[in-house]
Amino acid sequence: MTEELIKEPISKVDTAWLRMEQPTNLMMINGVIMMDEQLDYDSLLKTIEQRFLSFRRFRQKAVDGARGAHWVFDEDFDLRQHVRRTALPGAADRAELEMLVSDLASTPLDSSHPLWQLHVVENYVEGPVLICRIHHCIADGIALVQVFLSLTDPTREGRPSARKPDLWKKRRAKEAKVFQRLLDPARDGLDFAAHLSQRLVEEGAKILQNPAVASNYASEASEIVRELVHSLTLEDDPVTRFKGRLGTRKRVAWAEPLPLEEVKAVSKAFGCTVNDVLISAVTGAFRQYMISAGDDPDDLPDIRATVPVNLRPLEHAQELGNHFGLVFLSLPLSVDSPLERLYTVNDRMNELKSSKQAAVTLGFLAALGMGPSAMQKPVLDLLSKKATAVLTNVPGPQKPLYLAGSKMKEMMFWVPQNGSVGIGISILSYNNKVFFGLISDRRLLPNPAAVISRFKKEFEKLLYLGLMLPLDGQPHPQTAENLLVNSPDPE
């Protein structure tokens, strides 16, 4: 049998992500890699062919039919169709690059071919740029970082060579068995929610393939039910300028990077995680933007962000597909003090980490992938009303890397949104720098740069407070106001 005729079932979680796509929210992960010197197109093609295409998923198209979704090899596959050369108009500056990325983020991938594309921008004023677009059904952010690492070399002298993904193990068959039992009796979609709740109790221990994580689930059935009910019964997020009717056009922007060592120093000084510090700075940037626009965040309930939580065992960090759950994080926009806001984020994140919410949502997504496609949209719309943004933080390599002989200066990506969510917040660390990107629906936030321009200043407030700490300890949250009142503006 030729490879063109081979069909592979798409895992149920990945099927759910495939079916989430709609004109107002395309399920693409968009990325930008900036190089420090000319990127040779032919060398790039050779690298892609030998390394990227060694993962057969990138030569397969997704076919969704009445009998389910499958991966099928594209018999008309053309590498140059997926790796395209392009040029920016006019001054070819930052504004033109942001507009091109925004246009591509608003344009769906061709579903008759594998769902990925690379655009090589050769005339950007700051050096060559590689724009990446990959559908979320192929893999999540953690996996895609590993994929792109396989394309790179630690030195400029590295040459393209085949790297077979022999450590990438399939879990498709295991997933299928778990979630086949989960939804077999509910094929027609009747009594879906009641049936799902019952089966999640029975199958909770089997949702994850990592015994270390899942071993206690069988004895915690009541907690799993409680988490599911909690997620489904959350009040809808408040109506703010960031939530409303969506259009079909996206806008992207990114901030100047922060030194990772400074972020780590702040997190250590205040006894929080690096993620807490960055989320706090992001929240502060949104708060200041709202104030500048004439809103009063103090009079509004805090808005929620869905935060992906990696549930893939470390030994399977390079698996393709999606293996993460979602938690609902309430962003403390109503908190004015940067330090109090940081501790509030820390408290809320600690509470979420101790819950089973992420594992339950992973099972919930897989269950949706098993059910009729017509049922998925209303259920996802119900969940998406409970959040205003998607917020994700992906750790990248902390040493400079080379792609086809050219050094990668900067990396950034933008996370897709689903349902009625119109804001995506992305954080990525690379080469000891932290990059912050924002993608927004143009109807809701036509100029995302107006938000991210405040990101660095909000972080610097925490950095300045850290410098004011006594040598023998950390301030209590209540001292935040006194520290701020007696300190100059760090700007």
pLDDT digits (tens, 9 = 90+) for 115-169: 999 999 999 999 999 999 999 999 888 888 888 888 999 888 765 444 444 433 3
In the predicted structure, residue 182 carries a pLDDT above the cut 90: no
Q: What is the pLDDT of residue 212?
A: 47
Which has the higher per-residue pLDDT, 422 or 477? 422
Distance from the Cα of residue 240 to its chain's centroid: 23
Q: Report the pLDDT value the prediction gives residue 331, as an integer from 0 to 100.
A: 96
Q: What is the pLDDT of residue 32?
A: 96
CA angle, residues 58, 59, 61, in degrees to nearest 5: 90
* Span 231-287, pLDDT tens digits: 666 788 888 999 999 999 999 999 999 999 999 999 999 999 999 999 999 999 999
* Among 116, 106, 119, CA closest to 139: 116
pLDDT band at residue 375 using 50, 70 and 90 as cut-offs: low
Where is average pLDDT lowest: 24-33, 347-356, 387-396, 437-446? 347-356
**pTM over the 0.85 mark:** no
> Is residue 2 scored above 60 in pLDDT?
no
**pLDDT at residue 76 in the model:** 94
